[in-house]
Structure 1
Amino acid sequence: MQIQQNISLRPYNTFRIDAYAKYFAKFTSLSNLEQLFDAPFLQENERPFIIGGGSNILLTLDYNGLVAKNEMHGIEIVKQDQQHVYVRAAAGENWHQFVLYCIENNFAGVENLSLIPGNVGASPMQNIGAYGVEIKDVFYELEAFDINERKVKTFTAKECEFGYRESVFKRKYKGQYIITSVTFKLNKQPVFNTSYGAIQQELDKMQVKELSIAAISQAVINIRQSKLPDPNKIGNAGSFFKNPTIPQQQFEDLKKEFPQIVGYPAKDSVKVAAGWLIEQCGWKGYRKGDAGCHAQQALVLVNYGDAKGSEILALSSEIMQSVEAKFGIMLEREVNVL
């Protein structure tokens, strides 16, 4: 395992922020990972900063320590029964490539999560979701390296405490574990989910005669490509903010003043479309220098070239303040800020 010095992290984060790591390494195995914590230059109790696909981070500073990129790979079937197949994927596998692997093998359940950027290891960390499906719906278990005890622990779905873009790894155990693999419980017989968003419209547009997980995947890909900027062309981390959940009464009061407000029932509350709130505050298409709010999707902040992470962060703060002032709702960042 090679440890490099003063390395730009621009190729390793989808925002394409040009922050620097004092030390940088890639690990491909558990033994590599264990070696990282024995690096002679690490200060007492200092821990490496782990990155995967770099699709959910905003780097606002250079990192005066060790940044380690997870490149653990491998996909295998660990068991199966009449209805399900259990597939384990290493945390460094690209998420979309894993989805394509499942579709190719007719393993159903993740097709609605096509084209989400990032790696497999990040998927349970924030319970990624799209078009009516979340990781918790297909999750079986994961393995994670306990940094303090230097051993691997297995977590069940219950132990992960999944919530909306949440898990124990984002707050309760933040910085204590490094996810090394995730096992998914997938269906041999698909249960199609086409009711969310514009999936059915896109399928009709595609003139799909026989519904399949491949067709749903392609519909989701088409929709995402029409709405969201390609990180390979414009730096971004996808949805920058969570959709806020507010009490039903607060939503009803807002609806009187803003009849077009977009919300979805969520138990005893309402999940409000953050993109709509941001657009109503006039931010959609806004640009200051190379930092901006995307012209097609207000939920996405972008780096048009050489924006600093601090400039993106400052823009997000302005957006949050204006939404709170207009609607009385405080947005929460979905992206992890370093």
Structure 2
Amino acid sequence: MEALFNPSVLAAAFRIATPLLLAALGCLMCHKAGVENLAIEGFMLMGCFISIACITLTNGSALLGMLAAMVGTGIYSALFALVVVKFKANEIVSSIAINMLSVGLTSFLLRSVLGAQGMIRPSNIQKIPNMQLDFLKNVPILGAIFSNQSFLVPLTIVLAFVTAFVLRRTDYGLKVTSLGESEGAARSAGIKVERVKWSVILLSGVLCGIAGAYLSSTILSEFAEEMVQGRGFTAYTAVIFGGSHPILVWLVSLLFGWSEAIGVQIELAGIGVPSAIVKMFPYVLAIVVLVISSLSAKKRKEGKTAPKGKKKKQNSGMEVDGSCQEQH
């Protein structure tokens, strides 16, 4: 049991959860605005490619690649916004199309622009230096988790709290949530629906660009075809199970990060578990989480409808009694 929660595993869990949380926060903003954005998988893949391509072509740093991924993926997400908001296309079908386009486009650009087959690992990545938090070194657990981590790890956690504040306490956040609750009511209130939808989709593109850049240039130091491997869908699962609350979404993302970190730990320990089974852990957990979320939502729905049913029975009983009295 100690091996499952030792500081190195927890540190890896926070590190792995960072790109998941970034993508999940972008997806959450879309979800709150009534846009089902499953294209975050493709956005993350595009962010991975743009980051590594920028580093390879310019001999630049990971920070430069991250900035390029932010801008490039933000622009790329405008394609999804155009199709969904402007032309009113089905969001799920459009998301699938964007994800397929991302796979084909990154594979084509990898061969034609970077001259590589399947994958590329730049030898000149100037990684962003990790934080050296001396004041945390002597703090149990926290020191081991946050010392020698990328600045994005704590920054993303702060971003989750900022997102919660924005959604609850700002005019923009109230516009987003009101749009998700009722688009017709939002229009009647004078909210520019199309503008809000464009903004949340572009924001999701920027956040997924950062997530992809962090995954490719900091965690893996490479780009490979289809390297996102379902992380975008896992982020969407975190949004659903977290009830679209940023803090809960962070905790669910951390749970997924922990499951992947445990899988890596088991694989490195060489205890005889096939690597294919180990790599299944996060996806099996995602299925379990979705089932639990579905069952809990069903119970909540039944709990809300039950009193109405009882009230209806009581009313019908009163009507029967009244009719009997009239007959007498």
Same structural fold, with TM-score higher than 0.5 when normalized by the shorter chain = no
Q: Which has the higher strand share?
A: 1
Determine which structure has more spread, i.e. the larger CA radius of gyration.
2
Q: Which has the higher helix share?
A: 2
TM-score by length of 1: 0.22
